[in-house]
Chain A
Amino acid sequence: MIKVKSLADLKKMRESLQAKVDLREKGEAAENLVQIKVAMATCGIASGAKVVMDYLLEELEKRGINAVVTQTGCMGYCYAEPTIEVKLPDADAIVFGYVDKKKADEIIEKYIKNGELVDGIIPVNYESIDDK
């Protein structure tokens, strides 16, 4: 990889980026993209959410999947961190718990590519004992 040391170097890389952007933005509204939210509160970060987010950003780019990866706060599933919420176009969002690199790879390959559910889903009807 070329060394990117100064802002001028960043500027140089811009042209190659611009080409990619044009390609992407054609007819790609956010709702047509895979949307992933990584829980990044203290609990998530302490359990390795950053590693997972790094991995997702790199791998989705490498595997050519058009996705938006964003951060979110604590979803209340601290015991199951790192957690990620995946929303495929035209599907309900699903929260996966205990996500590490291996799990993230499985989620990309099986769920995001083929829509096949994998272990580790946190049921939506889950309520903590305090809510009862």
Chain B
Amino acid sequence: MKDLSLHVLDIAQNSIAAEAKVIQITLYFNRGNDYFELVVKDNGKGMEKDFLLRVTDPFTTTRITRKVGLGIPLLKRNAELTGGSFSIYSEPGAGTILTARFIPSHIDCLPLGDLAGTFALLICSYPKINFIIEIIVEKTRFCISTKEIVEAIEGVPLSNSSVYPLVKEFFNTNLEGLQITNLG
């Protein structure tokens, strides 16, 4: 993956495939201690223990169209490459929580990429899933959910093509406000 936003988009697909109704994506930036974390938490169907143990193996996948599953292994490698870490917990029937920690000062750290576009794309493409996007920079917190956006644009479906640019612009403005657009 070329940047972190693509990892977010990719990992979210796992939660969507697990039939999650709520997906919470948290980005936590701690500049003082030089790290940032991506946390994706869902209430999907979760994974059995033996599958969970194999999930970072590139030859583990639930798909039948191909024999490899690279989303999680790639994220793990990119996080560990910077001296960061990766962890995943899951409970069948309860959901999954995945954490990837990156060290932004490391030369191999990925740029953040188009986070605004990624969040907007997820929200507008899957109107039935409640996405909760939380971004924390030191002590500033920005949090928004699909529900709140739907309420704001009441009556206009999220799938309407004029909604996407608007939601993207909304995220862009807020991310700029948090000054995390050029990090990495």
A residues sitting closer than 8 Å to B (CB atoms) are 1, 3-5, 7-11, 13-14, 17-18, 20-21, 24, 40-43, 45-46, 50, 53-54, 57-58, 60-61, 67-71, 73-76, 78
Name the contact of A75 in the complex, choosing from B65, B166, B174 (C-beta under 8 A).
Answer: B65
Name the contact of B71 in the complex, choosing from A4, A10, A42, A75 (C-beta under 8 A).
A42
B98 at the interface (CB under 8 A from A): no
1/0 contact string of B145-162 vs chain A (CB within 8 Å): 000110111111101111
Residue in A4, A67, A73 whose beta carbon sits within 8 Å of that of B170 in the complex = A4
Q: How far is the CB of A14 from chain B (nearest CB, A)?
A: 5
Is B166 within 8 A of A13, CB to CB?
A: yes
- A20 CA to B13 CA in the complex, in Å? 30
Given known pairs A1-B169, A5-B174, A10-B152, the reply for A57 and B63 (CB within 8 Å) is no
Stretch from B36-44, B103-111, B113-121 that touches the partner:
B113-121
Question: Is the pair A7, B155 in contact by a Cβ cutoff of 8 Å?
Answer: no
Among B61-90, those with CB < 8 Å from A are 63, 65-66, 69-71, 74
Q: B118 near A50 (CB under 8 angstroms)?
A: yes
- Pairs A–B under 8 Å by Cβ, sample size 21: A9-B170, A10-B152, A10-B166, A17-B163, A21-B157, A21-B160, A40-B13, A41-B13, A45-B1, A46-B6, A46-B70, A50-B5, A50-B9, A54-B117, A54-B121, A61-B161, A68-B159, A71-B125, A73-B13, A76-B65, A78-B66
